[in-house]
Structure 1
Amino acid sequence: MTRTLISAAALVFAGVAAFAQADATADLKQFLSSTHSLQAQFNQTVTGKGKAQNSSGTVAIAIPGKFHWEYQKPYQQLIVGDGQQVWLYDPDLKQATVKDMGNALESSPAAILAGDSGWERNYTLRTLADKDNMTWLEATPKRADSSFEVVRLGFANGQIAQMDLLDKFGQTTQIRFSQITRNPKLDASLFHFTPPKDADVVHQ
């Protein structure tokens, strides 16, 4: 997998059924109201034209607006949101890219999860049929310039378990979360990034 494709998947990154189905909108509201921080592992698969591309790593989120999204395989890459800016750092290329949080809010899975609770203001929400033992919510961005066409969130026992994101290039990014810890005490240093002295810094 190329680094460009990994970056595109992450920075193109804080979610009423029929009678028998659970209410995924309620799951989203409950999750957001009861979650102040989150730590998990993730497995990501990007599909589109050509071979599926897999990656994995760890994520830490502090709501609102702070996240630490680290790819560990197949290439190392770090994405850090400090509440004001988002940094993308590639240690192999020794390159750091930085952009304002406002310009990245809907371009990263982590940024979507770490965002404020204004989902109903920013998205059109629709509950989908239950699937794979999860309740599903589909969120369509109201902003025409959103990086994603559709975001689907899967909840298991009120916990975020999966995100599916369809972008404007026809690619689908599926992210499965595991070993989730809700509301852990996170070190503030996770959400700060200072580029190494030998890194090229690109401002967007």
Structure 2
Amino acid sequence: MKKILLTLLLASSLPLHAAALPQFKAFIAGTKTLAADFTQTVSGKQRHETASGSMEIQRPGKLRWTYSKPFEQLIVGDGKTLWLYDKELAQITRRNQAGALGNSPAALLAGSNAIERDYQLREMGKTGDVEWLAASPKKADNTFESIKMGFTNNQLVEMELADSFGNLTRIQFKNLKRNASIPATHFKFTPPAGVDVVSE
């Protein structure tokens, strides 16, 4: 399950009715910072796992994902380096952020506004009050097969990630706060004394 949590950081032919795409563009163009609580569910062959926590993003390039349940994990990106801290294992992994995130959902949310340069966007229709948009990277990515984003009233409320292992990761966001002030220290990480650091 821990691998699935870290992998996260790391379609159909419905008629185009331009509902989710304008919401997505408005959300991206109007969002400099984003904070939210989330619940993440991973389902696949003979598995169903749930995690929860909080996330903060400062665009472009800075992010902080904190998993509080079932394991305490912290993922911090300062724009250059991505730190993955597993408190239970007392281990830290340090990676090049651009290489680690690739075209992942985290990179899509925390990246620049040049979304349509890097992703193929496609309307997926409406389910209840949620308008869905699919985003596929134009460059090959071996981590995931598709990303879907759900919007309501120009707010991102849900994401779905289908990976190459046959797993579906569903992330539901609550208590979203856009453009609130986030301390710069939230996007900096200093390894605690005595904790092993592994570079990849």
TM bucket, shorter chain: over 0.9
Paired amino acid for 2:63: F
Shift of 1:51: 2.1
Alignment partner of 1:82 out of 78, 81, 91 = 78
Instruction: Give me the whole-angstrom Cα distance separating, in 2, the residues matched to 1:124 and 1:43.
Output: 26
Q: Percent identity?
A: 43
Q: Which runs of 4+ in 1 moved over 4 A?
A: none
The TM-score, its normalising length taken from structure 1, stands at 0.91
2:5 is aligned to 6
Q: 1:156 corresponds to which residue?
A: 152
Other-structure match for 1:49: 45
Q: Is the 8 A contact 2:134 2:146 kept in 1?
A: yes
Kept in 1, the 8 Å contact 2:150–2:157? The answer is: yes
Classify the secondary structure of the residue corresponding to 1:177. strand
Indicate yes or no: 2:186 matched with 1:190.
Answer: yes
Aligned residues: 198
Separation in 2, partners of 1:4, 1:159: 29
For the 8 Å contact 1:69–1:110, the answer to whether it is kept is: no
- Residue 47 of structure 2 aligns to a residue whose secondary structure is coil
Match of 2:54?
Answer: 58
Amino acid aligned to 2:155:
Q
Could you tell me which runs of 5 or more consecutive residues in structure 1 were left unpaired when the two chains were aligned. Answer: 12-16
- 1:172 paired residue number: 168
Task: Check the 8 A contact 2:36/2:177 in 1, yes or no.
Answer: yes
Q: 1:159 to 1:148 in 2, by over 3 A?
A: same
Cα distance, 1:195 vs. partner? Answer: 0.9
Change (3 A) 1:165 1:71: same
Could you say which residue in structure 2 is the equivalent of 1:67? Answer: 63
Deviations 1:137-188 (A, max 9, x none): 0011111135221110000100010010111111111000000111100000
Name the SS of the counterpart of 1:6 in structure 2: helix
Partner Cα separation in structure 2 for residue 107 and residue 43 of structure 1: 21
1:20-41 Cα offsets, whole Å, 9 max, x none, are: x552111111101110001100
In 2, Cα distance between equivalents of 1:132 and 1:142 = 29
Report the secondary structure of 1:8's partner residue.
Answer: helix
**Structure 2: tracts of 5 or more residues without a match:** none
**TM-score of the superposed pair, with normalisation by structure 2:** 0.92
1:112 paired residue number: 108
Deviations 1:113-137 (A, max 9, x none): 1111122111111101111311110
Alignment match, 1:14: none
Q: Distance in 2 between matches of 1:202 and 1:9?
A: 19
